[in-house]
Amino acid sequence: MDIAKSKPIKHLMLNTNGVRIANDPGFAEKLATYAPEFEIYLQFDSFKPEVLQDFRGKDLTDVRMKALEKLNALNLSTTLVIVLQKGKNVDEIGKIIEFALKQKCVRGITFQPVEIAGRNREDSAHEK
């Protein structure tokens, strides 16, 4: 990040699941030193544990809430990133928007359709 920030890059984004922000003391504060042309791109697919388990292999709800608490305290520009899949989390769009509006740090939400490829493909376990 230090190297990237030292280059003539106008806007730097960190794509993260929030684990290190939530659990590493001082890490969020270090990230805040890259502002103002810096943004966190935080995975935030669902409030449903079963959807998070399916999409990411683990329910990181508590981790993301802790990360958001730190990001809110620092008012560090954050975009929530939601991967949508019909029958999984599309019904949560309104709830996610309402939640985002209550977060001081959230400046945007990105909704993107799921890509069924690689580890997400149902038949990938049979491929070598």
Q: Tell me, what's the pLDDT at 114? A: 84
pLDDT tens readout for residues 112-122 = 998 766 654 55
Asked if residue 123 has pLDDT above 60, the reply is no
Is-contact 80 42, C-beta < 8 A? yes
Beta bridge partners of 52: none
Is-contact 8 37, C-beta < 8 A? no
**pLDDT tier at 82 (50, 70, 90 boundaries)?**
very high
pLDDT tens readout for residues 3-57 = 998 999 999 999 999 999 999 999 999 999 999 999 999 999 999 999 999 999 9
Asked if residue 74 has pLDDT above 90, the reply is yes
Q: How do the domains of the chain map onto residue ranges?
A: 9-114
Q: Tell me, what's the pLDDT at 119? A: 56
User: Is the domain defined by 9-114 classed in CATH 3.40.50.800?
Assistant: no
Long-range (24+ apart) CB contacts under 8 A made by 51-57 are 51/88, 51/89, 54/88, 55/83, 55/85, 55/88, 55/114, 56/17
Q: Burial, 122: exposed, middle or buried (Cβ in 10 Å; 0-12, 13-18, 19+)?
A: exposed
Q: Tell me, what's the pLDDT at 3? A: 94
Under DSSP, the state recorded for 9 is -
